[in-house]
Amino acid sequence: MRRIEQRDRPRGPVSRAVELDRVDQRIIEALQKNGREPFRRIAVEVGVSEATIRARYARLCEENILQVTGVTNPLGLGFDAQAMVGIRTAGAPEAVADAIAKWEEAGYVVITAGQFDILVELVCADRRQLLELTGRIRELEGVVSTESFLYLELWKQLYDWGARIENGVRVAAR
């Protein structure tokens, strides 16, 4: 069975990039095209055994490099309020990011450079819940200010950038 229980294991910060070989890259690319692609078919395509694909998949998931999941448009599922929230902090942003990352409604939390120290994507049932969550953010110790960007329509959402890396740089498909 391919499914690794991912709700029990939060997708937190990742360590420095690990070396991915061509087999790892091709597994990732195959699963980005079709997350339900059978390991047997990937193995034939890549030219290795199904056991190799299974072991590599498990390692990539365990190292927090790969997560296979259904991607949805929350607005299309009836979540009436989705927003990106920019947060400015006083001092290091890690404690604030850690706190927000535990919230079920926060699907995306990144520490950034620039105008905001943290960006958080919130998916809420309605605007009232969004208001409550932005209030909770403002109450966190270390938060100086927030700015919310309410999503009106999801125009493009792709997760197919692949894993082609050479010398730390993404290269075009061959």
Instruction: Give the CA count within 13 Å in the CB-facing half-sphere of 162.
Output: 14
Looking at residues 158-170, what average pLDDT do you find? 56
pLDDT band at 161 (very low <50, low <70, confident <90, very high): low
For the entire predicted model, the pTM comes to 0.68
In SS3 terms, 12-76 reads as CCCCCCCCCCHHHHHHHHHHHHCCCCCHHHHHHHHCCCHHHHHHHHHHHHHCCCCCCCCCCCHHH
Q: Which letter does DSSP use for residue 77 in this model?
A: G
Residue 4 has pLDDT above 80, yes or no: no
Backbone Cα Rg of the chain = 19
- The pLDDT of residue 6: 44
- The pLDDT of residue 144: 97
Looking at residues 150-168, what average pLDDT do you find? 69
Mean pLDDT of the chain: 84
pLDDT band at 109 (very low <50, low <70, confident <90, very high): very high
* Cα(38)–Cα(152) distance, integer angstroms: 37
- The pLDDT of residue 74: 78
The dotted CATH code for 1-6+18-71 is 1.10.10.10
pLDDT band at 7 (very low <50, low <70, confident <90, very high): very low
Per-residue pLDDT tens over the stretch 21-52: 889 999 998 998 888 999 999 999 999 999 99
Percent of the chain at pLDDT above 90? 57
- The pLDDT of residue 71: 76
112 or 18: which carries more pLDDT confidence?
Answer: 112
* Cα(53)–Cα(69) distance, integer angstroms: 18
- The pLDDT of residue 162: 59
Looking at residues 70-75, what average pLDDT do you find? 76
In order of 7, 30, 40, 110, the CA distances from 107 in angstroms are 12, 24, 32, 10
CATH number for domain 74-150, candidates 3.30.70.920, 3.30.70.260, 3.30.70.141, 3.40.50.360: 3.30.70.920
Q: Domain spans of the chain?
A: 1-6+18-71, 74-150
* Cα(129)–Cα(10) distance, integer angstroms: 23
